[in-house]
Amino acid sequence: MNCEVCHLRELEVEHFEIREVLRCILHTIMFHRALGLVRPRDVDLELFDITYVQCGDTEIEKKIDEKIDQFISWVEKHPHKKSQICLSFYNEVKNNKAMWFSNRVERMHWEQWYINLNVVQRPKSYSIKSHHLRVVDVGENASEEESTRRAAVESSLRDVLFHVIRFVNEKKDHIPPIPNREVISFPYDITIPSSSDNTFGMDMLKRMLHSGHPNMIS
């Protein structure tokens, strides 16, 4: 089965922006790959002047929030590291040639989305408690820099959303037949880095081996 892969541009965000940014991107992808009857729900971001659409399905919202929580925990344990989340759509195929000790049902991935984040750390300000520390006065210059930075993040996030929309509109031939019109989404999985970067890489390698060699999309 042909597996299309989309690598979204890297976003440089601060820790407090992770949740909103990932919700926006993941829900946008899920909505544009939704099946059957959905109840679209507009969501306005609190940090940016952007509105995105959710499928209105509580199970999808729950799974996305759980994965984001896990991702944030990973980021806190691995500061100053660039990170990646993979959203994969797949079909389950019965393997009649499987050995007794292997799984007879295989996941055949037909689409993968790589979301790349660079979480930057904001310098901390300290109160005067010893002669080694001094108060950092944010002032007008820092406020202007923050406004400029926030505007840049918003612009980059918009570019990512446009990339998602272009991809789903242009790439349709690889989408498999709808398995069940009563479900909202194709089977999917969200993979985050584990405590070991090598484990994450091995997991992605296993996915590629099950799916066949994917076409790389820039």
The burial of 22, by beta-carbon neighbours within 10 Å (0-12 exposed, 13-18 middle, 19 or more buried), is given as buried
What average pLDDT does the segment 151-164 reach? Answer: 98
Query: Has residue 122 got a pLDDT over 90?
Result: no
Band (pLDDT 50/70/90 cuts) for residue 139 is low
Task: Tell me what pLDDT residue 177 has.
Answer: 83
Query: Has residue 218 got a pLDDT over 80?
Result: no
Least confident of 115-129, 135-149, 190-204: 190-204
Query: Has residue 95 got a pLDDT over 90?
Result: no
Give the span between the Cα atoms of 91 and 211, in whole angstroms.
10
Query: Has residue 138 got a pLDDT over 60?
Result: no
Query: Has residue 115 got a pLDDT over 90?
Result: yes
Check residues 209 and 187 and name the one with the higher pLDDT: 187
pLDDT digit string, tens, across residues 1-11: 689 999 999 99
What average pLDDT does the segment 99-125 reach? Answer: 80
Query: Has residue 217 got a pLDDT over 50?
Result: no
Cβ atoms of 91 and 1 closer than 8 Å:
yes
Task: Tell me what pLDDT residue 119 has.
Answer: 94
Give the span between the Cα atoms of 195 and 58, in whole angstroms.
28
What average pLDDT does the segment 129-136 reach? Answer: 40
Check residues 106 and 197 and name the one with the higher pLDDT: 106
pLDDT digit string, tens, across residues 31-58: 999 987 788 999 999 999 999 999 999 9
Query: Has residue 211 got a pLDDT over 50?
Result: no
pLDDT digit string, tens, across residues 14-38: 999 999 999 999 999 999 999 877 8
